[in-house]
Amino acid sequence: MTAAIWMHREALGAGVTALVLLALTLWTLQTLRELSHLRERMSRLADGLALLTDTTEAGLSTVLREIEALGRRRAAPRASRATVSRRVVAAAKNGARLDHIAGTESLSESEVRLHLKLAEAGERAS
């Protein structure tokens, strides 16, 4: 009988050990799944942060270029409207193209046309 009790205890111990190992295996698998999800979320977070960083850098460099351009435009002395108008009319009479005059005077082409029309209207009124 003692041998049967020993076998029963050994079987019970093996069964308990198997159950503990099964529980540890299931717990480990669940933890690995959660870690996999966490790794995926961290990867998406890192990608989003990289995109945000790149966008911010590009935006700030664009703002810096615009501020520098504004500083350069203000640094140039401002000519009076009459002086600009005389130069635009003189350049047009000398055969300069509209886009060339606009670039030289830092005006839009529509502003150059306006100066030319105003000069024509002034000549007709005189």
**Overall pTM > 0.85:** no
Question: What is the rounded CA–CA span in Å between residue 23 and residue 5?
Answer: 26
Q: How many CA atoms lie within 13 A of 87 on its CB side?
A: 15
Per-residue pLDDT, averaged over 93-113, amounts to: 87
Question: What is the rounded CA–CA span in Å between residue 21 and residue 34?
Answer: 20
Find where tokens 């024509």 sit: 120
Tens of pLDDT, residue by residue over 9-21, are 888 888 999 999 9
Tens of pLDDT, residue by residue over 58-96, are 999 999 998 888 877 655 566 678 888 889 889 988 988
Tens of pLDDT, residue by residue over 16-60, are 999 999 999 999 999 999 999 999 999 999 999 999 999 999 999
Question: What is the rounded CA–CA span in Å between residue 119 and residue 48?
Answer: 57
